[in-house]
Amino acid sequence: MIIAVLNQKGGVGKTTLAVNIAAILARNGRRPLLVDGDPQGSSLAWSSTRERAPLFPVVGMAKPTLHRDLPQIAQHYDDVIIDGAPRVNDLSRSAMLASDLVLIPVQPSPYDLWASLETVQLIREAQQFRPHLAATFVINRKIKNSALGRDFDGALAPLGMPVLPAHLQQRIVYAESAAQGLSVAEAAPRSEAVQELAALVVCIAGTSANQERRAA
Protein backbone atom coordinates (compact mmCIF):
# COMPACT_ATOMS: atom_id res chain seq x y z
CA MET A 1 0.00 0.00 0.00
CA ILE A 2 1.34 3.43 -0.96
CA ILE A 3 -0.13 6.30 1.02
CA ALA A 4 0.48 9.96 0.24
CA VAL A 5 -0.06 12.54 2.99
CA LEU A 6 -0.89 15.71 1.09
CA ASN A 7 -2.41 19.14 1.46
CA GLN A 8 -1.63 22.23 -0.57
CA LYS A 9 -1.76 24.22 2.65
CA GLY A 10 1.37 24.17 4.80
CA GLY A 11 1.40 23.69 8.55
CA VAL A 12 -1.38 21.10 8.76
CA GLY A 13 0.81 18.35 10.24
CA LYS A 14 1.73 16.29 7.17
CA THR A 15 5.18 15.28 8.41
CA THR A 16 3.95 14.53 11.92
CA LEU A 17 1.21 12.33 10.51
CA ALA A 18 3.49 10.56 8.01
CA VAL A 19 6.20 9.81 10.58
CA ASN A 20 3.79 8.51 13.19
CA ILE A 21 1.72 6.40 10.79
CA ALA A 22 4.96 4.73 9.65
CA ALA A 23 5.94 4.17 13.30
CA ILE A 24 2.63 2.50 14.15
CA LEU A 25 2.92 0.28 11.07
CA ALA A 26 6.44 -0.73 12.15
CA ARG A 27 5.19 -1.43 15.67
CA ASN A 28 2.51 -3.67 14.13
CA GLY A 29 5.16 -5.76 12.40
CA ARG A 30 4.92 -4.18 8.95
CA ARG A 31 7.91 -3.00 6.89
CA PRO A 32 7.25 0.66 6.06
CA LEU A 33 9.29 3.08 3.99
CA LEU A 34 8.93 6.82 4.59
CA VAL A 35 9.48 8.91 1.46
CA ASP A 36 10.18 12.62 1.93
CA GLY A 37 8.59 14.20 -1.13
CA ASP A 38 8.89 17.77 0.15
CA PRO A 39 11.88 19.96 -0.84
CA GLN A 40 11.83 21.31 2.71
CA GLY A 41 12.99 17.86 3.87
CA SER A 42 11.21 17.72 7.24
CA SER A 43 11.05 13.91 7.41
CA LEU A 44 14.74 13.66 6.55
CA ALA A 45 15.51 16.26 9.23
CA TRP A 46 13.52 14.23 11.77
CA SER A 47 15.48 11.11 10.81
CA SER A 48 18.85 12.88 11.09
CA THR A 49 17.96 14.10 14.60
CA ARG A 50 17.37 10.55 15.75
CA GLU A 51 19.99 8.86 17.98
CA ARG A 52 18.28 5.46 18.28
CA ALA A 53 18.42 2.77 15.60
CA PRO A 54 15.92 3.59 12.83
CA LEU A 55 12.42 2.14 12.99
CA PHE A 56 12.20 2.35 9.19
CA PRO A 57 14.20 3.86 6.34
CA VAL A 58 13.59 7.44 5.22
CA VAL A 59 14.52 8.49 1.68
CA GLY A 60 14.26 11.81 -0.13
CA MET A 61 12.38 11.86 -3.44
CA ALA A 62 11.15 15.43 -3.90
CA LYS A 63 10.87 15.27 -7.67
CA PRO A 64 8.09 15.24 -10.25
CA THR A 65 9.16 11.78 -11.46
CA LEU A 66 8.27 10.18 -8.13
CA HIS A 67 5.43 8.17 -9.68
CA ARG A 68 7.85 6.58 -12.14
CA ASP A 69 10.76 6.06 -9.74
CA LEU A 70 8.96 4.79 -6.65
CA PRO A 71 7.39 1.47 -7.80
CA GLN A 72 10.73 -0.32 -8.09
CA ILE A 73 11.70 0.75 -4.56
CA ALA A 74 8.24 0.14 -3.09
CA GLN A 75 8.22 -3.55 -3.97
CA HIS A 76 10.69 -4.21 -1.14
CA TYR A 77 8.32 -2.86 1.55
CA ASP A 78 4.87 -3.65 2.91
CA ASP A 79 3.84 0.00 2.99
CA VAL A 80 5.17 3.30 1.66
CA ILE A 81 4.22 6.62 3.25
CA ILE A 82 4.90 9.75 1.19
CA ASP A 83 5.31 13.01 3.10
CA GLY A 84 4.15 15.36 0.36
CA ALA A 85 4.94 18.95 -0.49
CA PRO A 86 2.57 21.91 -0.08
CA ARG A 87 2.06 24.51 -2.79
CA VAL A 88 4.04 22.57 -5.44
CA ASN A 89 1.50 21.15 -7.86
CA ASP A 90 3.83 19.01 -9.98
CA LEU A 91 5.23 17.26 -6.89
CA SER A 92 1.75 16.74 -5.46
CA ARG A 93 0.46 15.31 -8.72
CA SER A 94 3.38 12.91 -8.95
CA ALA A 95 2.80 11.73 -5.37
CA MET A 96 -0.89 11.16 -6.14
CA LEU A 97 -0.10 9.19 -9.29
CA ALA A 98 2.26 6.97 -7.27
CA SER A 99 -0.30 6.25 -4.55
CA ASP A 100 -3.18 3.97 -3.69
CA LEU A 101 -4.56 6.31 -1.04
CA VAL A 102 -4.24 10.04 -0.34
CA LEU A 103 -4.68 11.26 3.22
CA ILE A 104 -5.57 14.96 3.48
CA PRO A 105 -4.77 16.24 6.98
CA VAL A 106 -6.90 19.21 7.99
CA GLN A 107 -7.14 21.19 11.20
CA PRO A 108 -10.60 22.29 12.34
CA SER A 109 -10.39 25.83 11.03
CA PRO A 110 -12.05 27.79 8.22
CA TYR A 111 -8.62 28.43 6.68
CA ASP A 112 -7.93 24.70 6.34
CA LEU A 113 -11.42 24.16 4.95
CA TRP A 114 -10.99 26.81 2.26
CA ALA A 115 -7.46 25.68 1.37
CA SER A 116 -8.49 22.02 1.04
CA LEU A 117 -10.51 22.72 -2.09
CA GLU A 118 -7.33 23.03 -4.18
CA THR A 119 -6.09 19.66 -2.91
CA VAL A 120 -9.43 18.03 -3.72
CA GLN A 121 -9.28 19.46 -7.24
CA LEU A 122 -5.80 17.99 -7.79
CA ILE A 123 -7.03 14.60 -6.56
CA ARG A 124 -9.97 14.71 -8.97
CA GLU A 125 -7.51 15.38 -11.80
CA ALA A 126 -5.29 12.48 -10.70
CA GLN A 127 -8.29 10.16 -10.57
CA GLN A 128 -8.77 10.71 -14.29
CA PHE A 129 -5.51 8.77 -14.74
CA ARG A 130 -5.86 6.53 -11.66
CA PRO A 131 -9.59 5.77 -11.30
CA HIS A 132 -9.01 3.57 -8.24
CA LEU A 133 -7.09 6.24 -6.32
CA ALA A 134 -8.82 6.69 -2.95
CA ALA A 135 -8.69 9.86 -0.85
CA THR A 136 -9.95 10.82 2.58
CA PHE A 137 -9.66 13.67 5.06
CA VAL A 138 -7.91 13.18 8.40
CA ILE A 139 -8.92 15.65 11.08
CA ASN A 140 -5.73 16.61 12.89
CA ARG A 141 -4.94 18.78 15.93
CA LYS A 142 -8.55 18.72 17.03
CA ILE A 143 -9.19 20.75 20.19
CA LYS A 144 -11.11 18.66 22.68
CA ASN A 145 -14.68 19.78 23.52
CA SER A 146 -14.62 22.65 21.01
CA ALA A 147 -17.72 23.34 18.91
CA LEU A 148 -15.66 23.68 15.74
CA GLY A 149 -13.99 20.32 16.38
CA ARG A 150 -17.35 18.61 16.87
CA ASP A 151 -18.92 20.06 13.73
CA PHE A 152 -15.98 19.95 11.33
CA ASP A 153 -16.94 16.63 9.70
CA GLY A 154 -20.10 18.30 8.44
CA ALA A 155 -18.20 21.34 7.24
CA LEU A 156 -16.00 19.10 5.06
CA ALA A 157 -18.95 17.20 3.54
CA PRO A 158 -19.55 19.64 0.62
CA LEU A 159 -16.02 18.94 -0.66
CA GLY A 160 -17.14 15.42 -1.57
CA MET A 161 -14.39 13.43 0.14
CA PRO A 162 -14.93 11.01 3.05
CA VAL A 163 -13.57 11.79 6.51
CA LEU A 164 -11.86 9.09 8.54
CA PRO A 165 -13.77 8.48 11.78
CA ALA A 166 -10.55 8.39 13.84
CA HIS A 167 -9.40 11.93 14.67
CA LEU A 168 -6.16 13.16 16.25
CA GLN A 169 -6.29 15.71 19.04
CA GLN A 170 -3.82 18.51 19.59
CA ARG A 171 -1.17 17.18 22.00
CA ILE A 172 2.23 18.48 23.06
CA VAL A 173 3.75 14.98 22.83
CA TYR A 174 3.92 15.29 19.03
CA ALA A 175 6.33 18.22 19.19
CA GLU A 176 8.27 16.80 22.14
CA SER A 177 8.87 13.46 20.43
CA ALA A 178 9.79 15.04 17.08
CA ALA A 179 12.46 17.20 18.74
CA GLN A 180 14.20 13.98 19.82
CA GLY A 181 13.86 12.25 16.47
CA LEU A 182 11.34 9.86 18.02
CA SER A 183 7.85 8.79 17.13
CA VAL A 184 5.05 9.21 19.65
CA ALA A 185 4.87 5.40 19.96
CA GLU A 186 8.45 5.45 21.27
CA ALA A 187 8.27 8.57 23.42
CA ALA A 188 4.91 7.82 25.05
CA PRO A 189 3.90 4.25 24.14
CA ARG A 190 0.89 4.13 26.49
CA SER A 191 -0.43 7.60 25.77
CA GLU A 192 -3.80 8.60 24.42
CA ALA A 193 -1.99 9.94 21.35
CA VAL A 194 -0.74 6.45 20.51
CA GLN A 195 -4.24 5.04 20.98
CA GLU A 196 -5.58 7.63 18.53
CA LEU A 197 -2.82 6.87 16.02
CA ALA A 198 -3.43 3.13 16.29
CA ALA A 199 -7.15 3.68 15.64
CA LEU A 200 -6.26 5.87 12.67
CA VAL A 201 -4.06 3.15 11.15
CA VAL A 202 -6.91 0.64 11.54
CA CYS A 203 -9.20 3.04 9.65
CA ILE A 204 -6.59 3.52 6.94
CA ALA A 205 -6.25 -0.25 6.51
CA GLY A 206 -10.03 -0.55 6.23
CA THR A 207 -10.18 2.18 3.60
CA SER A 208 -7.42 0.51 1.60
CA ALA A 209 -9.12 -2.90 1.80
CA ASN A 210 -12.41 -1.43 0.58
CA GLN A 211 -10.65 0.26 -2.31
CA GLU A 212 -8.93 -2.99 -3.31
CA ARG A 213 -12.28 -4.80 -3.37
CA ARG A 214 -13.80 -2.10 -5.60
CA ALA A 215 -10.80 -2.27 -7.93
CA ALA A 216 -10.94 -6.09 -8.22
**Residue 207 belongs to domain with CATH number:** 3.40.50.300
* pLDDT (tens digit per residue) in 60-114: 999 999 999 999 999 999 999 999 998 778 999 999 999 999 999 998 888 888 8
**Strands across the sheet with 134-139, in order?**
58-60, 32-36, 79-83, 2-5, 101-106, 134-139
The pTM score is: 0.92
How many domains does one find in the chain? 1
Residue-averaged pLDDT of the chain = 90
> What is the residue range of 104's domain?
2-215
Going by C-alpha positions, the residue among 154, 157, 85 that lies closest to residue 122 is 85
DSSP 77: S
> How far apart are the C-alpha atoms of 172 and 151, rounded to whole Å?
23
String of b and e for 3-22 (b: at least 16 CB within 10 Å)?
A: bbbbbbbeebbbbbbbbbbb
Q: What is the pLDDT of residue 108?
A: 86
